Structure 1
Amino acid sequence: MSIVEKAEELGAEIVESDEYSEMKEAEEAVETDEDAKALIDEFQAKQQQLQMAQMNGQQPTQQQQQEIQSIQAKMQDNDKIKAFMQKQQEFNNIMQNVNQVITESLQDQN
C-alpha cells in the first residue's frame, strides 16, 4: 500500500470517527439556526475588517475591540455555537494527536 493510499485510508477513518460526525452535526445545527448563523457571520465580518485594517498598518480602535468582544460574549451565550465550538475543539484534539503520532514516528526513524 502506498503512502497516499494510507493517507486516504486515514482520512476515511477520520471522517467516520465520532468526533468528526458530532462536529459536523453541531455545525449543521449552527448553520440552520438563524440567530447563531447571524452571530457567526457578524463575527467573521468584524474579524475580517480588523485583519484588513492591520494589514494596512492600522491598529484596531477601542470601539472595534469592544464590538468583537460583545459579539464573542453573545456567541458564548448561544447554546448551539457553544456546542459547536466544543465539538470542534474535541475534533482538533484528535487531529493534533494524529499529527503527534506521525511526527513521533518520523522522529523515531532518525
Structure 2
Amino acid sequence: MAELLLGESKLEQYLKEHPLRQGASPRGPRPQMTEVRKHLTAALDRGNLKSEFLQESNLIMAKLDYVEGDYEAALNIYARVGLEDWPLTGVPPYRLRMAADAYATK
C-alpha cells in the first residue's frame, strides 16, 4: 500500500510542477517518472492488494502511461480494469476523482 501511495503522490507532484499542455504530445519515458513507475510496479507485483486498490494502482499506472505519451498502453489498462463497470454512487470523492481522470484521458 505504501508503494501505491508513494507512486501516486510523486506522479501528482510532477503534474503540479509540469502541467500537461493542450495540444502537446509527449513521447517517451520521462526520467522523473522512473521512480513513479518503480513504486507502482512494486505495488502491483506484490500481489497482496485488495481488489479496489489493485484497480486504483492500475488507473494510476494508466495515468503515468498517458503522461509519458503511451496512449495505447493507457487505453489497454482502462479496458482491462473495466472502468465502465465501476459503481460511482456512494463512493469516496477520491475514487470519483480517479474515475473522472480516467474518463477524461480515455
Q: So what's the TM-score if we normalise by structure 1?
A: 0.37
Give 1 or 2 for the bigger CA radius of gyration. Answer: 1
More helix by share: 1
Structure with more contact order per residue of length (Cα contacts < 8 Å, sep ≥ 6)? 1
